[in-house]
Amino acid sequence: MAVSPNWFGVANIIAEVEATGVTLGVSIIPPSGAHFAHNADRRFVAASTAKIGIMIELFHQIDTGKLSLDQIRPFRAADVTGGSGVVMNLHEGLNLTLGDLVYLMMSISDNAATNMLIETVGQDAVNATMHSLGMTDSKLGRLMRGRPMIAGEQENWAVPGEYAAIIAALLAKRVVSPSACDQMIALLETQQNNRRIARHLPRAGGPRWGSKTGSLPGVVNDAGFIMTGHGPLCLAVFCEHTDPLAGEETIGAISRAALAAAG
């Protein structure tokens, strides 16, 4: 019989960090035993964690035969946007496949690539699929601009409990087809920012892990998984009213404490 994790270490870190004025949302799904939740049903600014839903809708449309990873989407001057990425610095007319775009979106959080995918799959379709998968309060409200929302725009929202649950569903191959889930898990594993969920993992010979980060002024997020000897540990950590370095340290500390609690 599985022993329920002792979440005291996680709860203590949250209390210490929130005492400084930071607001945290944490959802942890261990390989076995009771889940941990703190503000897990509250909406947080998603930043680039919203790209998980875009990836899922892309593979949903690939599964239905509407799209293909080999399909070409030329880069246009109108696709230039702010924030992270490299595509905006490349030449107009460059032919990129949808496979190229989703890799860039997930590995380096490329905003131009992301907006090209939103245009391809449709924002309404992303939200409809997220809703059908239980992500009823998370929402893709706007394109990626590399800045906070301004007046007249909708926000991209993320609910920690919904994000941890969708990561667990991907690993259980319950989101779309098993082969598509495998491809999405592999894309999460291309994450190049190892300073959050993976902060305290060995750089060589460590466990498999994957995630999607998100950052805006005052916002530092990560949602993903770490494979343990007992199965996957899925976690989503959202930080508001923090700075980048402190936010990354907080996520790393919570991830390390979650691993210890899960055994």
Which pLDDT tens digits describe the chain residue by residue (263 residues)? 456 799 999 999 999 999 999 999 999 999 988 999 999 999 999 999 999 999 999 999 999 999 999 999 999 999 999 999 999 999 999 999 999 999 999 999 999 999 999 999 999 999 999 999 999 999 999 999 999 989 889 999 999 999 999 999 999 999 999 999 999 999 999 999 999 999 999 999 999 999 999 999 999 999 999 999 999 999 999 999 999 999 999 999 999 999 999 98
Of 165, 174, 159, 169, the residue nearest 235 (C-alpha): 165
Q: Is the distance from CB of 111 to CB of 192 less than 8 angstroms?
A: no
Q: What is the DSSP code (8-state) at residue 203?
A: S
For the chain, state the CA radius of gyration. Answer: 18
**What is residue 3's predicted lDDT score, i.e. its pLDDT?**
62
Tell me the two tokens of residue 44. Answer: 């947080």
Instruction: Quote the pLDDT of residue 1.
Output: 43
Helices 178-188 and 51-63 sit at what angle, rounded to 10 degrees? 150
Query: Nearest-CA neighbor of 239 among 260, 212, 208, 218?
Result: 218
Measured CA to CA, the distance from residue 23 to residue 247 in angstroms comes to 11
| Residue 130 DSSP SS3 | helix
The answer to whether 233 touches 209, Cβ cutoff 8 Å, is no
